[in-house]
A and B are shown apart, each in its own frame.
Chain A
Amino acid sequence: AQSVTQLGSHVSVSEGALVLLRCNYSSSVPPYLFWYVQYPNQGLQLLLKYTSAATLVKGINGFEAEFKKSETSFHLTKPSAHMRDAAEYFCAVSDRGYSTLTFGKGTMLLVSP
């Protein structure tokens, strides 16, 4: 079974600083990878996904992620954090042959003024 590990349950940045949220996956075959964001008391919203096309994927709200097969990583970045980026972020991988998602434990992003 495929799995996802998110390093750091909490990440704190200052407004305007670089955001880096880490995600590593384990898979015996090329996976499909996703990043979702969850704001308080809301469901998950898709930020971006990797489906074996371009390795650098651009998403909504200025986020992007790079698939690195050699490092089995799919880290999420944003050049400059905004207060509105404060939320919980989940990395996920598709397995089971359907589009069922296996999620990481999540990383809470805290943005200070």
Chain B
Amino acid sequence: GAGVSQSPSNKVTEKGKDVELRCDPISGHTALYWYRQSLGQGLEFLIYFQGNSAPDKSGLPSDRFSAERTGGSVSTLTIQRTQQEDSAVYLCASSLEEQISADQHFGDGTRLSIL
């Protein structure tokens, strides 16, 4: 079956521009997560959705970062006024439920490069 789909797979943009990253979770998965993977910081949690609500957004690094989820499905992560330190791979994951032992299924990520 279809896995977690992320688009675009690669994005190159100039410093100061806004970018939108999209995540399509596995159908029926109620929980959705965004992570950031960078050379210096490793894998970092950004935000967690349960349905359309975000009970935990504590990992968003600044107010330039925001995310939303609609229809309990697709999620977009928006970065405004991008900075070079935003360059990273942004990974999305989904799970069938929010239980602590639920398996998270990851997409292949969006590689974001800020020039």
Give chain A's interface residues, CB within 8 Å of chain B: 32, 36, 41-46, 49, 51, 90, 92, 94, 96-106
Contact = CB atoms under 8 A, between A and B. Distances in A.
Contacts of A96: 56
B43 A106 contact: yes
A42 B91 CA distance: 10
Contact of A100 (B4, B33, B106): B33
13 contacts: A32-B101, A41-B108, A43-B93, A44-B93, A99-B95, A99-B98, A99-B104, A100-B45, A100-B48, A100-B56, A101-B45, A104-B42, A106-B43
Given A44-B91, A49-B101, A106-B43, A98 B106 contact: no
B109 interface: yes
B101 to A, nearest CB: 4
A98 B91 CA distance: 18
Given A97-B100, A103-B42, 8 more contacts: A46-B103, A46-B105, A49-B101, A90-B43, A94-B100, A98-B98, A99-B98, A104-B42
Given A32-B101, A41-B108, A43-B109, A99 B4 contact: no
